[in-house]
Structure 1
Amino acid sequence: MKIDAHHHLWDLSAVTYPWLAEKGVVRFFGDPASIQRDYLLPEFRADTEAQGFGASVHIQVGAADPWAEARWVQSVADQFPDWPLVQVAFCDLTADDLSEQLDRLQTLPSLRGVRQIIGRAPGEDAVTGTNALLEDPKFLSGLQHLGARGLSFDLQLLPELMQQTAAVLAQSPETQVALCHAGSPHDRTDEGLCQWSDALMSLSCLPQVYCKLSGLGMFDHSWSANSVSPIIKTCLSHFGFDRCMFGSNFPVDSLSATYQDTVSRHEAIVPVASHNDVFHNTAKRFYRIEAARKRIECP
């Protein structure tokens, strides 16, 4: 059984997502028009099960009310016990009531960690100002608080921020970290990838940091196995197979490839002997994913 370590779901009638409500706005990952609709677990499972997947990790995705999103994801997990679904919810690690927020989130059995995005794309970051989190002592304190609770942190940022981030994470060694989207190598020139690889080393040398092979189509909408091969091979070399895990980033990455193509391209690059680690073992261990429970149908 394979595990998809990074995907999203949404029910637009249950939870409000401002970015999915914006019409005609093209984002760094492409034109979201085709995914500005409900994307529910049955549709996701239809694609994933055909490729041998049987469990997954839901990642928060910009809901107006993060608690409402987390509760909705829990309701999905409860509705489909035959599909092990765990989640990474949003929480502001600089909030004055952080402990209370985490107490509430930890009432949800599916919760495994938190994501608070540090960097998405150069242009968008200049507007959101999320890069400033790294200079806030409350952010470091929040990371340490996660580790003390046994919660992980999903890290999304740009290569330009990796060294500064590594210095922060080094002060929170008990907090397990999953680097999203291979660290978002947005500059795909030879020079850009060389700079990304050098910066990536500052994170990979921290034993608590793992790497997701995900989201590789966000900055290259015509990507192929050949075009991302240097990225995947660099991640495997830096982190090792037992600290890398596959994530589809669906439905966002459906803008650039089908689920089948996304999986097959990754499988073609990852050595066959390491498929079990990258497509199952690492995610199962990191996110503490248990076996499926049998679904009980009402008579």
Structure 2
Amino acid sequence: MTDWIDAHHHLWDLEAVLYPWLMARGVERFFGDPTLIQRDYMLREFRSEAVPCGVGASIHIQVEAENGLDEARWVQTVADTNPDWPMAQVVFCDLTSTDLPNQLDTFQDLPTVRGVRQIVGRAPGEDVQTGTNLLLDDPRFLVGLQEAGRRGLSFDLQLIPELLEKTAGVLAQAPDARVALCHAGSPHDRSPAGLNDWAQRLYALSDLPHVSCKLSGLGMFDHNWTPESIRPIVEACLEQFGPERVMFGSNFPVDKLYGDYASLMQAYHDLVPAEVHSAVFRETAVRFYDLEVPRD
């Protein structure tokens, strides 16, 4: 079977597009030491890992290139030169930009573009330095979300649990913008108390019908994860959102730092009830990202 979809992964060619964080040697990131992935990660390598696990299509998510349009155009060329691999993409665009409509026009000229991601929160330490949390207080951000929704573009939301309630207040004012919560809301405190706090805060978003959730990136705050250690996250997401609003994403190659693709897929395969595999591993992503994929 090769009809499952990876709804969250990255690719990069360090000669084609500039990624400052991949050039910054010896700089620790919130997810750990990136040294092992500070090299090209191309579609051929991704496919070699994903296809044996039953994956046959994917969603590329922007990954902090210096220029979001350069990255989007490169991803489009990858899709164009690999027509046998169905792939859509989510691009970076600053939703507070004064010329946002023109920027979105340009992005939407690329046939693979389905949505936008602008990170609100990565981890408490980095957020203090970057100030990305301030987006939630910027009225232009809400206007940008509403504009994306009018255009049929989705929004990939990355943030930390401490911001879930505040963000829900913003998203409630943009009901036409389909939102995908990346990495289950980044539960960075994996103690029982931390996971309970995250799960309670998560209701603020799961109560919004236009918000879906990705089971992705769970290794970034648990480098020695096991199926049992991520079980509470998987179960809470499925309980709160329902399988029709939950989708699988590998977050490769970032989560490749903490395990191989086959082990990751096997863990999710076992943790997600078999009767909802089709939704979580395929149908939610197909519907959310309007992805055209054949079925084996």
Same fold (TM over 0.5): yes
1-side partners of 2:292 and 2:83: how far apart? 11
Are 1:261 and 2:259 matched, yes or no? no
Q: How many correspondences in the alignment?
A: 292
Q: Give how far 1:99 is off.
A: 0.4
Aligned to 1:291: 293
Q: Give how far 1:30 is off.
A: 1.4
SS state of the match for residue 191, structure 1?
Answer: helix
RMSD, matched Cα:
0.6
Q: Which residues of 2 match residues 232-243 of structure 1 at below 5 A?
A: 232-243=234-245
Q: Give how far 1:258 is off.
A: 0.3
Aligned to 1:59: 61
Q: TM-score, normalised by structure 2?
A: 0.98
2-side partners of 1:291 and 1:159: how far apart? 33
Aligned to 1:152: 154
Are 1:50 and 2:35 matched, yes or no? no
Aligned to 1:295: none
Q: Percent identity?
A: 61
Partner deviation per Cα, 1:214-249 (whole Å, 9 max, x = no partner)? 000000100010000000000000000110000000
Aligned to 2:188: 186
Q: Give how far 1:26 is off.
A: 1.5
SS state of the match for residue 23, structure 1?
Answer: coil
2-side partners of 1:42 and 1:189: how far apart? 38
Q: Give how far 1:155 is off.
A: 0.2
SS state of the match for residue 278, structure 2?
Answer: helix
Unmatched runs of 5 consecutive residues or more in structure 1? 293-299
Segments of 4+ in structure 1 off by > 2 A? Answer: none
Aligned to 1:199: 201
Q: Which residues of 2 match residues 99-178 of structure 1 at below 5 A?
A: 99-178=101-180
The amino acid across from 2:89 in the alignment is Q
1-side partners of 2:225 and 2:145: how far apart? 34
Q: Give how far 1:22 is off.
A: 0.6
SS state of the match for residue 11, structure 1?
Answer: coil
SS state of the match for residue 64, structure 2?
Answer: coil
Q: Which residues of 2 match residues 211-222 of structure 1 at below 5 A?
A: 211-222=213-224
2-side partners of 1:138 and 1:26: how far apart? 32
Aligned to 1:80: 82
SS state of the match for residue 268, structure 2?
Answer: helix
Q: Give how far 1:291 is off.
A: 2.5
SS state of the match for residue 50, structure 1?
Answer: helix
Q: Give how far 1:143 is off.
A: 0.3
1-side partners of 2:32 and 2:188: how far apart? 13
Unmatched runs of 5 consecutive residues or more in structure 2? none
The amino acid across from 2:85 in the alignment is W
The amino acid across from 2:17 in the alignment is V
Aligned to 1:229: 231
Are 1:273 and 2:279 matched, yes or no? no
2-side partners of 1:136 and 1:121: how far apart? 20
The amino acid across from 2:19 in the alignment is Y
Which one of the candidate residues 34, 50, 54 is aligned to 1:32? 34
1-side partners of 2:131 and 2:147: how far apart? 23
SS state of the match for residue 115, structure 2?
Answer: strand
2-side partners of 1:156 and 1:255: how far apart? 20
